[in-house]
Structure 1
Amino acid sequence: MAVLVWIVEGTWASCVDAARAHVGEDTDVVLLHVSGHEVPEIAHGAFAGLLGRGHPERDPGIRVERMAAESADRLLRAAADRLGRPCGRVERAGRVEREVVRAAEDAELLILARDGDRGRVGPKSLGPASRFVVDHAPCPVLLVWPEAAPAVTDLPPPPPHEP
């Protein structure tokens, strides 16, 4: 089993730093990046519906897919360099939140970062995909702040029925 580190642009460095700080040297680490399917599909659809069928070599969706793969490769290489130790690298494509959960099936730990409103504590500090992953992960989850956590003085008041 291995520790899975979900690599997302904008928050990946904090996840890698958490792996460096909390994962033993004898534990395998796998860096995971998932490319969403929505943007290439929109480009394919726009081309097929509006720009002319019959010229597949002009389909912008193919170029978008290639650019996404190149970007994911650069991001995974940067994360591996920052980790500074041997690790696996996995690139998946599809519905991001579901691919992360599937990839975590055999993991002993999943590391991910908050990606919502990071100005205050609470459930809105998680975006929809991260919320899904936290709720459905088949393994323990280490949830990290990409920067310093906000003060807990921002906690909401207790419910009115609590003394």
Structure 2
Amino acid sequence: MTVVAWIVEGSWPAVVDATRTYAPAGAEIVLLHVTEASVPEVAHGAYAGLLGRGHRERDPGTRLEHLSAASATDLLQAAADRLGRDCDQQQRTGRPERAVVAAAEGAELLILARDGDQARLGPKSLGRASRFIVDHAPCAVFLVWPVPAPGVDTIPPPPPHHR
């Protein structure tokens, strides 16, 4: 069995704890971090367009790429340390929702944390990326709260035409 755990800044401890608790012994575990590619691309473009060409060593996009990779490496290592068992650490770059779905191909389970409204139950507890992943994952999805789940009294009321 292969379990993919999507590691994201802020919510990764809950994902790792769920992986540690629910992934079967002997499962192949993949800790996955995806770096959004757009920020370094914007910096490259701004530098080339506004400040000219010819001094690649001054391009802030390159520095952002290096900082992002180092941050992802550190985060994945912290997650692996917390997991406390053998795992594969993968870094990908691109649109997170698409990269996570692609990484889950062939896996039996994908674990991710809610990334939306943490104050109430309901569909808004999923952000854009998580909603896409839940809707398109090619395997079972285990969705965890990164904070204690709110009470059932936070469920939004039904629409007026359903009352």
TM bucket (normalised to shorter chain) is over 0.9
- The 2-side partners of 1:157 and 1:93 are apart by 39
Aligned to 1:109: 109
- The 2-side partners of 1:110 and 1:47 are apart by 38
* TM-score when normalising by structure 2: 0.96
* TM-score when normalising by structure 1: 0.96
Aligned to 1:79: 79
Aligned to 2:55: 55
Q: Is the 8 A contact 2:121 2:156 kept in 1?
A: no
Paired residue total:
163
- The 1-side partners of 2:81 and 2:12 are apart by 12
- The 2-side partners of 1:114 and 1:41 are apart by 27
* TM superposition shift of 1:156: 2.1
Q: How does 1:2-151 map to 2 (within 5 A)?
A: 2-151=2-151
| Structure 2: runs of 5+ lacking an equivalent | none
Identity within the alignment, %: 64
1:152 aligned to 2:126? Answer: no
* TM superposition shift of 1:132: 0.7
Task: Give the root-mean-square deviation of aligned CA atoms.
Answer: 1.1
Deviations 1:20-74 (A, max 9, x none): 1111121111100000011000100110001121111211100000000000000
* TM superposition shift of 1:75: 0.3
Deviations 1:93-150 (A, max 9, x none): 0111100000001110000001111011111111111111111101010000001000
| Structure 1: runs of 5+ lacking an equivalent | none
- The 2-side partners of 1:60 and 1:162 are apart by 54
